[in-house]
Amino acid sequence: MDGEISARKGLLVVGLTFVISSTALFYVYASFPTLQENEKQYLKIPYDIEDAKNLGKLLGSYKDLYYVQVLMGLFVTYIFLQTFAIPGSIFLSILSGFLFPFPLALTLVCTCSAIGASLCYLLSSLAGKKLVQKYCPNKAKLWAETVTKHKDNLLNYMLFVRITPLIPNWFINLASPVVGVPLLPFMIGTLFGVAPASFVAIQAGQTLNKLTSSKDAFPLSSLFLLFIFSLLSLLPVIFKSQIRKKFE
């Protein structure tokens, strides 16, 4: 009985959070300057590179006069997508590189990723256990075993899984509280772990008009760079293990 009440409360919080987030998103869009009729079709969440190009052109034409609105629009939309595990954030990363200076774009993307993923983590801790166990029980079980093996180096492990594309980000966000990953290493690992891939996406955004698909944003050289970063994230664990063996 208590479990059912707790589950209902969790679902209520998730629903309330969705309503509040949707309201914030609507407010940002409503505060945007009045668009021409032929422009309204492009003000939407991008789901492919053509959507990103059209939205980039639209926002770029308004950015100088409405800089704060454009920045906040990307900020709120990015967090919304991450919080509810909705696809499309990769195109917002590319757009950030197209619209803003590199340091600002990188800070924006990493911050939004950390905030949105942490909110998704908190919502999953309230109502995600049954969802994860129902739709991906085997995957969750295997990952729980891996997390247990790395319990002494969880921050480095979270950095590794964020840098590499081995585990989907939506699954990491939903399953982390279920398999016992604490919030702090999860948040810090996300903040810094998404930086290499964000670096590549933002750099690709500077040539947005030349891209023909999202795959163009991650050429083989960039994937090799991500591989190098993932190995670097494991170096402290390797050194720690070697030092421990010396003193045993």
Q: What is the DSSP string of 123-191?
A: HHHHHTHHHHHHH-HHHHHHHHHHHHHTGGGHHHHHHHHHHSSSS-HHHHHHHHHHHT--HHHHHHHHH
Q: Which residues of the chain have pLDDT under 50?
A: 1-2, 247
CA dihedral defined by 53, 86, 109, 222, rounded to 10 degrees? -70
Prediction pTM value: 0.86
Q: Are 192 and 232 in contact (CB under 8 A)?
A: no
Q: What are phi and psi of 32, to 5 degrees?
A: -70, 150
CA distance 66 to 69: 5
CB 202 within 8 A of CB 195: no
Q: What is the pLDDT of residue 18?
A: 86
Alpha carbon distance 65, 69 (integer Å): 9
Length of the chain: 248
pLDDT of residue 24: 84
For residue range 154-207, list pLDDT tens digits in order: 998 999 899 887 888 899 999 999 999 999 999 999 999 999 889 889 988 888
For residues 206 and 98, the answer to whether their CB atoms sit within 8 Å is yes
Give the model's pLDDT for residue 2.
46
Number of domains comprising the chain: 1
Q: Which domain holds residue 98?
A: 2-246
